[in-house]
Amino acid sequence: MKTIDELLAGPVAGKRVFVRADLNVPLSGTTITDDGRIRAVLPTVKALADAGARVVVASHLGRPKGAPDPVFSLAPAAARLGELLGADVAFATDTVGESAEATVTGLADGQVAVLENLRFNAGETSKDDAERAAFADRLAGLADVYVGDGFGAVHRKHASVFDLPARLPHYAGHLIATEVGVLKKLTEDVKRPYVVALGGAKVSDKLAVIDQLLGKADRILIGGGMAYTFLKAQGYEIGSSLLQEDQLPAVAEYLERAEKTGVELVLPVDAVVSSAFPDLKAKAPTDSTSVAADAIPADQMGLDIGPETRKLYASKIADAATVFWNGPMGVFEHPDFAEGTKAVAQALLDSEAFTVVGGGDSAAAVRILGFDENAFGHISTGGGASLEYLEGKTLPGLAALED
Ligand SMILES: Nc1ncnc2c1ncn2[C@@H]1O[C@H](COP(=O)(O)OP(=O)(O)OP(=O)(O)O)[C@@H](O)[C@H]1O
Ligand SMILES: O=C(O)[C@H](O)COP(=O)(O)O
């Protein structure tokens, strides 16, 4: 994989450099609640701008449905990037249309522009190769060189991640180089006991990862939204908690396999439940209570791991040599459901283990809940991406940078 250092070793001034970043930051309205992913791509953007490149930054944000949707605009991220750079950052109100073309044409050497959300175009995420290729062709028209630095999205076979680098000279940015360097160590020589804690809300993506992790980790602790599919597979009532019904047979098989192979697959023994999903903006107090995992009332939903589970998971982390944690244990954005995530973060810090925290929201949770991010071994900007990397999968966005 050629890195940006090779690009910077040659003449870059005046070149239009397309930086595929992951600016998928958590938002409350238009307010960015954690800018970690923007800060993470700064070294690449700054190095290119300082070398006189015309830097075109592109990213997705959230999961819009292939058409413009103001809720998912990258305008707040572009503004924040400008603040962090201490420079004016131009913003194109589309991705490949008139605004993008005019914005890129108007860039002077050393200036930075951000394009609107790539996923406002159906071609970005299309499963149809030709549709993705057509969109990638249009993106390629905006640049001379491609720098891949959106580590959080390298597991996606999307036009800007996979198809575009094939059309331009391509390099890995500083963030991707750093992320791969650290995660590689976990695949090559992992110190045991190796404990993986999984949570979050992208249940369908992350359940599949367990299949592979069963052959690698010594213990897997399950929290967040995915815990309820496991509890349901055990025959428990889970009320209106998140459920991935089509995965129930797979989850039952994981439980069986873990038992046979001696991997500890640890499930919550209690949960913090509420009658409704909380208002994350007003953060008004809720009717939350803690109940045993086998006693979730039919009209309630599980939104965090309970106090006994917190103790249990802390004890399972205490003697680990390596811990990889992806996905908040609960809806940490509301104080009534943040204790599980806090407890796991604290357990990582209390252990002697090499700790890796992966995921946009997981990393944000650590910072928002007041932990010192430098106290962890590595905070990865990728959740699904880091999990799939650890599985040993070929990631489209890394493979595309390789030749
Ligand atoms: N029990 C639960 N029910 C519903 N949502 C939950 C639950 N537990 C956690 N969450 C939500 O999960 C979200 C984060 O999930 P996600 O899978 O996106 O994690 P991540 O660390 O950002 O990983 P990635 O980078 O792959 O997105 C948080 O916004 C949190 O509120
Ligand atoms: O948050 C993430 O994990 C990345 O930004 C990828 O987002 P996605 O899961 O919507 O593809």
From the list 151, 146, 322, 325, the residue with the least C-alpha distance to 224 is 325
Q: Establish whether residue 54 lines the binding site of ligand 1, counting it when its CB lies within 6 angstroms of any ligand atom.
A: no
Query: Rounded mean pLDDT of the chain?
Result: 96
If you measure from the C-alpha of residue 383 to the centroid of ligand 1, how many angstroms do you get, rounded to a whole number? 10
How does pLDDT run across 185-205, given as a tens digit for each residue? 888 889 999 999 999 998 888
Which ligand 2 atom is at minimum distance from the Cα of 361?
1
Amino acid making up residue 48: L
Number of other CB atoms surrounding residue 235 within 10 Å: 8
If you measure from the C-alpha of residue 384 to the centroid of ligand 2, how many angstroms do you get, rounded to a whole number? 7
- Matching residue, tokens 């040659």: 10
If you measure from the C-alpha of residue 190 to the centroid of ligand 1, how many angstroms do you get, rounded to a whole number? 26
From the list 302, 306, 300, the residue with the least C-alpha distance to 242 is 302
Write down the pLDDT at residue 297: 97
Ligand 2 pocket test target in 32, 33, 37, 60 with most atoms within 8 Å of CB: 60
**In angstroms, what CA-CA distances link 237 with 89, 240, 256, 311, 403?**
51, 9, 20, 23, 51
Tokens of 224: 């967040």
Tokens of 130: 């030709």
If you measure from the C-alpha of residue 104 to the centroid of ligand 1, how many angstroms do you get, rounded to a whole number? 35
How does pLDDT run across 232-256, given as a tens digit for each residue? 999 999 999 999 999 999 999 999 9
Q: Which ligand is nearest to the CA of 125?
A: 2
CA angle, 195 then 198 then 203, to 5°: 150
Q: Which ligand is nearest to the CA of 152?
A: 2
For residue 272, the surrounding DSSP H or E stretch is: strand 270-274
Write down the pLDDT at residue 355: 96
Q: Give the pTM.
A: 0.90
The answer to the question of whether 206 is labelled as a binding residue is: yes
Tokens of 313: 């998971």
Contact call for residues 187 and 308 (beta carbons, < 8 A): no
Write down the pLDDT at residue 75: 98
Burial of 82 from C-beta contacts in 10 A (0-12 / 13-18 / 19+)? middle
- Matching residue, tokens 């969109």: 135
Euclidean distance between CA atoms 169 and 179, whole angstroms: 21
Q: Establish whether residue 396 lines the binding site of ligand 2, counting it when its CB lies within 6 angstroms of any ligand atom.
A: no
- ipTM for the assembly: 0.94
Q: Which ligand is nearest to the CA of 361?
A: 1
Active site amino acids:
37, 202, 360, 384
Tokens of 306: 């309970």
How does pLDDT run across 108-129, given as a tens digit for each residue? 999 999 999 999 999 999 999 9
Q: Establish whether residue 327 lines the binding site of ligand 1, counting it when its CB lies within 6 angstroms of any ligand atom.
A: yes
Tokens of 261: 């192979």
Residues 6+ apart with CB under 8 A from 51: 8, 12, 13, 110
The answer to the question of whether 360 is labelled as a binding residue is: yes
Flag residues of the chain having pLDDT under 50. Answer: none
Atom 6 of ligand 2, nearest CA residue: 153
**In angstroms, what CA-CA distances link 109 with 12, 54, 93, 335?**
9, 5, 21, 46
Pairing of β 301-305 and β 270-274: antiparallel
Contact call for residues 304 and 337 (beta carbons, < 8 A): yes
Q: Establish whether residue 387 lines the binding site of ligand 2, counting it when its CB lies within 6 angstroms of any ligand atom.
A: no
